Each structure stands twice: as C-alpha cells, then as structure tokens.
Structure 1
Amino acid sequence: MDFKQLKALMTVAETGSVTRAAELLELVQPAVTRQIRMLEAELGVTLFERSSRGMRLTEAGEIMVDRSRRIFDDLKYAQMAVQPHPHNLTGTVTLGLLESTADLLAAPVAAAVRRDHPGIDLRLTTAYSGHLQQWLDNGTLDLSVLHSTGTTPTLHSHPLVRDNLWVVAPPGAGLRPDTPVPFADAVRHPLVLPTPGHALRVLVDRAAAQADVTVNTFVATDSLRMQRQLVRAGLGWGILPGVALADDLAQRTLSAAPLCDPDIWRSIALVTRRATPTPQSVRAVARAVTRQAKAAARDGAWPLRTEPSPQPPQPRHQHQLERDRPASPVRL
C-alpha cells in the first residue's frame, strides 16, 4: 500500500469515474485501474461496485476513503506546522461561515488573505452551525465561524462578537434601529421564522416562554435569503440577527429594530480543532477573520445594540435572555 494507491482511491471516489480520475491525476486509465486493483488485492476486499453508471464505493471502500483523507490531512497539517516563514505560508485552509455572516465576512477575509498570504489556498463554505461543527470534528474544515457553544473536548472556541436579534418588517412598518421593540409586540404579527430546532428558533421560543406569549408563525424556513424575501413581500415580520440585515438596512429594502423585554443575545465565535497543533497558515486565516469581524462591529457594518449596563433584579419579563448550549443539536 502506498500514497499513489490511496490518492487513486480518493480521486475515483470523488469523481465516480476511472476516466475522470485519470485525467485529474494525469495518468493513463489502465494505471489508475491497476492502482485500485492492487489496493483491493492487498486488503482482500472490494472497494468499488463497478457498473455501466460508474464506480460506487462499497462499505469497505467508504472506510478506506475516510481513513485515507485523514492520512493526507495529517500530512498537510505536518507540512503547514513546520513552515518557518509566516509571511510565505502555503497550503489549503478551509473556512466555514454561518450563512448570516457570509455576506459580511467572506469578501474582506478573502481579500486580506490574498494580500497578506498569497500562497494560501483559501476555501470557503457556508452551512448551519450544527453542520459546520460536524465538519470541524471530522476534519473537513480547519476553522469556522459558529454560534458559540463554548469550548468542547474536540473544539476550541474563540469569542468574536455578541450580537442581538432584531425584528424585521417591510419599510412601511417604520421600524428604527434606535427604537427597540418589545418582544411581545413583535410576535403579535404573523412571523416568518426558522423551523423548530434551528438555533435562532430556539432563542425565539425561549424568549416567548420567558415573556409568556405565543409566537404566531406564518411561514417556517431555514433559508435566510427566503426569510428576507418573504418579509420584503409583506407576508409577515421576521426575527433575525442584525448582521443578516446590514445590506437591507443600508438599501432601505427592510426596516428593523432590536428586540427588548427581553433582549435576545447570541455569541458568535471562531472555532478551531483541538486534536492537532494549529498550523501557521490556519492561524493566519484565523487572525484575518478576527480582524474583519472586530472591524465590522466597530465600524457599524455589523449592526449591534449596546448591551445594557448591569441593573438590580427586575421583573421576569425584563431579564436579558442569553442562549445556553442546547441539549440537542441545533442548526444555524
């Protein structure tokens, strides 16, 4: 067994075709076929089911592909970890972003990495928080911006920003960023919300329980883009993080105001894996993400409402609500 065989295995698995894999590996097709058959003979198992529709992994093949990826990831990390010149970093770094933060962070982070570390191959992906966390755990991602769940045995969390949820409506509603809206008033309107189990929905449902009110959900969708579209169309109001509204507020295609009574805060963090030493290239991208997030909050591009100063105990409906880690997996 050697690296050429493992690389052939991974490439055929990704493409589903020996012909396409041979093109990517710059080999002739019989050479790729020979590598796969030699590996199968050595392992004593069949790695692919072969048919006229292509190559599909067997259960044994899926295990081998997963382990092979880990081997190549470890090699990549070893190479990046020993690079002696921080300003001449190379290698691939895969960064995950929440959908709500992608519009604000993706372009400036990519520009900063290209300017300061042109040798880094930066790859960006967006997903819900639960998916991003799974991809960090299995090594698909090197680092990710997540809805913070705190440091875990496998992941380390670096706080970035604490932002609050806003109520959002069509421009004619006249909501203003400087005039908070009580939660009970906001939920009297038909709402466009994420589905139950989504992290933002968890926050909304907890606030409703705290305020002892019923949420009137008109449409449920996890698509941030669709939520904004439905609100723009006048089909309901929404509850979203301020960072997801920056463009709409600037273009006045929506009106919005921070929620109060209770305030609803969420913590955004940059999360990295704990299992391996963090390579310098990953650290460089992490610094770029941190700088851009802090700058966006400082310059007002990331809409935030100032947290209230600590006050003496108040009646139940005025307590600030902050999300703890949920007992079951959530999506964001």
Structure 2
Amino acid sequence: MEQGLDHSRIAAEPATRRGLSVGVPPLIAESLVVPVVRRFVRQNPGLALRLHEDPSVELLDLTALGEIDLAIVYNVSPRAALQLETVAQDDLQLIGAAHRPPMRTPGPIALAEVLGLPLFMPRSGAGLHGMLDEAARQRGVMPDISFRIDGIAPILSLVREGLGFTCLPYSAVASRIANGELRARPIVDPVLPGVLSIAASATRPRSDAMERFCRCIRDEPILRLSDSARRRPGSASIDEARITGMSTDARRAAPP
C-alpha cells in the first residue's frame, strides 16, 4: 500500500460527523483500493472514510447487517438482502516474474500449461484455490501448488523473486505490473472466470457519499484494464487501441 495508508483501515477524521464505511477484500486491497480511495479523498476532503478488510463472503455478512455501508467483493453469489453491481469481469491470470520463460511470451496461456508450473496460491480468499483445483480435477491432473500461503503480499514477493507463479485477477496485481515487477497472461482453455462487484443493502437507501464512492470505483482505469485484459485463444495481449484515451497511469498498468 502507499506510504501513509494503513493496509487494513484508512480514516480521515473531519470536523463533520458524516462518514462512510467500506469493506474491501485483501485480494485487491493494494492495487485497486489505494487509487480509488485516493480519488475519493481528494474529491471529498470533508468526509470521514473507514475501510474494513475481510474476505468477500464475510464482507457480504457485514453489509447485510449494516455494520458497513458497502463492499467491493470478488466472485460472490447473489443474496436476497443485498444488491450486487458488477463493475468488471476480472478472470484469473497467470502472474509471474518478467524474466521467467512462460512470461516472456505475450497473450493467453492454456490452463494445462499453467497446471504444470510451480504455483503459490492463497490459502483462502475468493475461492481461488478451489477454482483452480476443480478445473484441474476435471482434467484429471493435480496442480503443482508448492505452497498455500495466508496473505497476498508474501505470495507476490516469492513470485517476484522468480521462485514460482500464482493465479490472480488482474486487479490484484495491477500496480506491480505497472512498475515492472510482474507480468500477467490471461488463462484460457478454459477461462477461470472472476467478477468484481459492489455490494450494498437492498433495503436501506444509499447515501450521497455511498454513491460518490461507487462512482470512484466505476471510474477506476484499472477496472477497465481488467476487462481489457481478458483474452481468448488467438488473442494478443492488450492492444493499444483498447486503452486509447485512458490516463497515463492506466496505460502503464496494461499487461506487457
């Protein structure tokens, strides 16, 4: 996370008592939440903002109970008490250090090839390991998962050092791709689908602050790149035409 921003909670106490409580999963806390919060705080300097970090399923419970106002969640099932707004299709991608051979080739990579690579996967969170295990089981193979690790940061550190690979949505690693630490290749044959959504109560009215925060999420260039980064067999990596008109930061975040 950016210096000065707490990884689990951000609070800006203003003179006014108004405030907003937002839930975020650890999966996207670094790459996606920092730029969204930065934009929101700059646009709303007099509004208190509190971030609560938990897995997506737990954030749905907190949102339904009214303990947080809304949540950014990944790959969750609909609930009667909640409204889910899809903000990006963000399928799993192979993430690795740029110097490792599989990452030198741009464009999609078949799941069969991914399953033969040494993988570091999160122990929990968004069901990523379960999705990968099920896809492997359907093909009668076992993925080469070297370690299941609690926390995204240690996984990415190991991957950056070239010790292995991981499978994550693009929004989880966009900032590290932008600075050249890592590269991403969309997984195909089959695609391992992922969806980023905003969850809010279906029974309580949305405040103006909630809508302004949702607007910051919808406008985040990383999410447009997440959609662009999805590729099917025969596709190239993100082409420049798809990101024409985006900000300089967004262009830098495009997978190589």
TM-score, normalising length: structure 2: 0.75
CA contact (8 A) 1:183 1:260 kept: yes
Partner of 1:249: 177
Q: Please provide the CA RMSD for this pair.
A: 2.5
Partner of 1:266: 194
Partner of 1:215: 143
Q: Distance in 2 between matches of 1:263 and 1:117?
A: 39
The superposition leaves residues 21-70 of structure 1 with CA deviations (integer Å, 9 ceiling, x where unpaired) of xxxxxxxxxxxxxxxxxxxxxxxxxxxxxxxxxxxxxxxxxxxxxxxxxx
CA contact (8 A) 1:148 1:159 kept: no
Q: Which protein, 1 or 2, shows the higher relative CO under an 8 Å CA cutoff with sep ≥ 6?
A: 2
Partner of 1:156: 83
CA contact (8 A) 1:90 1:119 kept: no
Q: Distance in 2 between matches of 1:232 and 1:267?
A: 25
3-state secondary structure, aligned to 1:179:
coil
CA contact (8 A) 1:150 1:157 kept: no
Q: Distance in 2 between matches of 1:296 and 1:290?
A: 10
Structure-2 change in CA distance of 1:111 and 1:172 (3 Å): closer
Q: Report 1:1-332 matches (<5 A).
A: 91-174=18-101, 175-176=103-104, 178-195=106-123, 198-292=126-220, 295-298=221-224, 300=225, 302=226, 304-306=228-230, 308=232
Residue 220 of structure 1, CA deviation: 0.4
CA contact (8 A) 2:31 2:175 kept: no
Residue 227 of structure 1, CA deviation: 0.9
Structure 2 letter corresponding to 1:102:
A
Structure-2 change in CA distance of 1:283 and 1:90 (3 Å): farther
The superposition leaves residues 160-213 of structure 1 with CA deviations (integer Å, 9 ceiling, x where unpaired) of 000111112233213157321111111112211122675111221122123332
The superposition leaves residues 291-320 of structure 1 with CA deviations (integer Å, 9 ceiling, x where unpaired) of 22xx3233x3x47434549xxxxxxxxxxx
3-state secondary structure, aligned to 2:173:
helix
Q: Distance in 2 between matches of 1:110 and 1:255?
A: 25
CA contact (8 A) 1:176 1:256 kept: no
Residue 119 of structure 1, CA deviation: 3.1
The superposition leaves residues 137-176 of structure 1 with CA deviations (integer Å, 9 ceiling, x where unpaired) of 2222100100143431211101100011111223321315
Q: Distance in 1 between matches of 2:176 and 2:192?
A: 21
3-state secondary structure, aligned to 1:248:
helix
Structure-2 change in CA distance of 1:170 and 1:291 (3 Å): closer
Structure-2 change in CA distance of 1:129 and 1:197 (3 Å): closer
Runs of 5+ unmatched residues, structure 1: 1-88, 310-332
Residue 218 of structure 1, CA deviation: 1.0
Residue 129 of structure 1, CA deviation: 1.0
Residue 229 of structure 1, CA deviation: 1.2
Structure-2 change in CA distance of 1:121 and 1:101 (3 Å): same
Q: Distance in 2 between matches of 1:216 and 1:287?
A: 40
TM-score, normalising length: structure 1: 0.59
Q: Distance in 1 between matches of 2:125 and 2:49?
A: 31
Residue 110 of structure 1, CA deviation: 2.7
Residue identity (%): 24
Greater displacement, 119-128 / 109-118: 109-118
Q: Which has the larger radius of gyration?
A: 1
